Structure 1
Amino acid sequence: MPYRPKGSRNWHYDFQIRGRRFHGSCGTDDFEEAKAVEAEARVAARNAPEITRNFTLSEALGTYFADVSQDQPSARTTRSQFRSILTVIKPATPLSQLTDADLMRLRSSRRSEVSNATVNRTFASLARALRHMENKHGAAVPNLNFSATRLPEPKERVRELTIAEQKRLFEHLRRDLHPLVQFALMTGARQGSICQLRWRDIDVDTGRMKFKMKTDTGTSAKSMNFPMSREIKAMLATLEKSDDPDHAPYVFTFRVHNRKRAARRRILQNSTAFEHFRKAVNAADIEDFHFHDLRHTFATRMLRETKNIKMVSRLLGHSEITTTSRYAHVLDEDLADAIDGFSALSNNASRKPSRSAKKRP
């Protein structure tokens, strides 16, 4: 029955169906009208997706985005992926009626517009959303063959920023984004790890930072400790903090200009910061370069300097050293240089004697 809360002139309803609570205002002070409103609310509640567990594709993607994706650095990408899905498969399609034919139709449509890698990432996001709806909301999801949708991808390239390109990039990059790019070059941290880095994750006394790391599901549940060099400490000490209480805890913020209010520093997540980075790359005439390539640049430079692939693997947070082996070309180049300078057919008289040779009588 409708009830009237203290201090309210209108009647309200409050009931439960299958353990879920539904409540709200009836929008009227007439008791009979309120009973009719409550009756309509009960009918709507019994047919609600969270009760019937019959979600449409649009409802499923929207629920997953609200539950999981909206707070991730990749929120914009996920939103774009979901929109592309809904342009091919009707939004009102019940999850229980999705078929492998729908997936193949989506595959054919998307591969004509974007790269194979982008198509594969879109299907990975869709699969995560369906698993979430099934596990967390009890949705009826058919057994779909996602493995059949996977397209071949070229071997991941390693793109290193040259020193000349680096100079041009900083010349065209907004000044308040310089620390962001510098930090990526100093640490090789992923975009998501940088966006989520908070001041509480930095321990100056121990000289360590805690990075949130990407897992196999695309979330950031793991973490790793990263050593801070003197260069990193000096750069962090110069950073301007946000004057917004919701954004102040984050290390890297981005100055956002608003016509109605004074410019304020906001978090990088869901901002236009990385769009400005891409514009600077284009303005600097740097071809085929993305923000993630700053991580490649760190790895190749560190490996070239240390010759220690195991150490570089740990700094990158790789669980398997085979993942780091893509950078082994740096060591191969050094081996080639070494063999070029070696002659097995001459006495190498011009070479400096080895330590073992000096010890011989």
Structure 2
Amino acid sequence: MSVYKPKKSPFYQYDFWLGCHRFHGPTKCANRKDAEKFETVERERAAILVKAMKRSAVSLLIDDVADRLWNESAQHDAAPDATETNLARLIDYFGKAKSLTDIDHTEARKMVAWRRGHHVTRRGKLTKEEKDALPLITNSTVNRSATKVLQRLFTFAKTEGAQFEHEPNWTELLLPEPQERVRELHDDEAAAFDAAMRADYEPFFEFVGTSGMRQKECVTLRWSEVNFGTRQIVRIGKGGRRVVFPITDTIRDILFPLQGQHPQFVFTYVAVYGNKRLGRVRGQRYPLTINGTKTAWQTMRAKAGVKDFRFHDYRHDFGTKLLRDSGNLKLVQKAMNHRDIKSTLRYAHVLDEDVASAVEAVAKSRKKSRTTVRKVG
């Protein structure tokens, strides 16, 4: 056995070669017999790793796999910054030298438990007490930012030829998520938002509520995608699909006056404070950002006193009202850029209201007919 105890350490180290690969490290065992058992386990793991590396001909260290994934496709994600953050978080947790072959179901489950203990983050300086008071992240955030990211690394490695004998059971690792609710904005709530809204953000929020587009799609809208001549907004939406949205009279009234505020981006804000580090000059206009709109939204919602209404609920409000007015699920599907009609069916409760009204109308009609017959008889 190739275990030894360094002069200045009470613990044994292991050091051996398998094929052309060297494996070494601490055993954390003070007893030689225990250290040899530890090394036996490491040899078994090393054999699996070498075998997988021969098949894939590339490194399966998590840092290397993430680097190749990023260069090949992840950098082109709809939200590359979020992807980069999620990958870096996993690498930091497992360690750069961790091989995917060493991440089995138990290891992955520990990672999920670790991620579930994280709190929601907020911008600005917070005290420790304020940070601890923030709620824990949701199951959907754990799934999206950790479990599915790790699964993506495994899937990518398999496209390169890697095979895993102990791949985690992803179905069991995914945490249950509540069915997405549909929240409609009431008239009094809309009035409260209007009263609490910053003037420079007003066109943006009006567009969000009128178009039904996703937050990122609205924030990053460019003038090159807006064509007043054809009365269309043409852009690439979620999933890389081409999305065409009509410029109605209402949409035109929102967008047309914004021309000239910025050469590239449609929606801007006025800097309230100067910031040398960011190159911001007080009173000047700059393109909106995702984080900036989140902060503005949180401030506006708190000032308006509206409860249980998220930014994404603007989209639900749009879909609900559109289906109520049109009664056409396919039309709503196209307007909201849903790939699957199942996503649109969440608004079907609106049609249930129409069915109830129609049933009641039939009942009243029959009652009226019976009354007429009695009078005639």
TM-score, normalised relative to structure 2: 0.66
Is 1:239 equivalent to 2:244 in the alignment? no
- Preserved CA contact (<8 Å) 2:219 2:290: no
- Preserved CA contact (<8 Å) 2:63 2:91: yes
Residue 229 of structure 2 aligns to a residue whose secondary structure is coil
Is 1:107 equivalent to 2:107 in the alignment? no
Q: Give distance in 1, aligned partners of 2:105 and 2:347.
A: 38
Classify 1:163/1:156 alpha carbon distance in 2 versus 1 (closer, same or farther; 3 Å): same
Classify 1:80/1:319 alpha carbon distance in 2 versus 1 (closer, same or farther; 3 Å): same
Percent identical: 27
Classify 1:196/1:68 alpha carbon distance in 2 versus 1 (closer, same or farther; 3 Å): farther
* 1:167-246 to 2 correspondences below 5 Å: 167-215=191-239, 221-239=240-258, 241=260
* 1:269-288 to 2 correspondences below 5 Å: 269-288=289-308
> Which of 306, 330, 343 is matched with 2:326 structurally?
306
Please name the residue that 1:262 is paired with.
281
CA shift for structure 1 position 126: 3.5
CA shift for structure 1 position 156: 1.1
Q: Give distance in 2, aligned partners of 1:71 and 1:194.
A: 19
Q: Give distance in 2, aligned partners of 1:207 and 1:190.
A: 20
Please name the residue that 1:347 is paired with.
368
Q: Give distance in 1, aligned partners of 2:292 and 2:73.
A: 21
Is 1:321 equivalent to 2:341 in the alignment? yes
Letter in 1 for 2:59: N
* 1:284-299 to 2 correspondences below 5 Å: 284-299=304-319
Count of residues in correspondence between the two structures: 289
CA shift for structure 1 position 272: 2.0
Q: Give distance in 2, aligned partners of 1:121 and 1:162.
A: 31
Residue 153 of structure 1 aligns to a residue whose secondary structure is coil
CA shift for structure 1 position 224: 1.4
Residue 209 of structure 1 aligns to a residue whose secondary structure is strand
Classify 1:331/1:104 alpha carbon distance in 2 versus 1 (closer, same or farther; 3 Å): same
Q: Give distance in 1, aligned partners of 2:270 and 2:371.
A: 59
Please name the residue that 1:151 is paired with.
175
Is 1:249 equivalent to 2:264 in the alignment? yes
Instruction: For residues 144-173 of structure 1, give each alpha carbon's deviation from its aligned partner in whole angstroms, at most 9, with x where no partner exists.
Output: 433331122221101111121112122223
Classify 1:84/1:226 alpha carbon distance in 2 versus 1 (closer, same or farther; 3 Å): same
Higher helix share: 2
Please name the residue that 2:34 is paired with.
none
Letter in 1 for 2:303: A
- Preserved CA contact (<8 Å) 1:95 1:140: no
Residue 347 of structure 1 aligns to a residue whose secondary structure is helix
**Structure 2, unpaired ranges of 5+:** 1-56, 118-135, 373-377
CA shift for structure 1 position 329: 0.7
**Structure 1, unpaired ranges of 5+:** 1-51, 216-220, 352-361
Residue 151 of structure 2 aligns to a residue whose secondary structure is helix
- Preserved CA contact (<8 Å) 1:241 1:251: no
Q: Give distance in 2, aligned partners of 1:120 and 1:53.
A: 28
- Preserved CA contact (<8 Å) 1:89 1:102: no
Letter in 2 for 1:259: N
CA shift for structure 1 position 296: 0.6
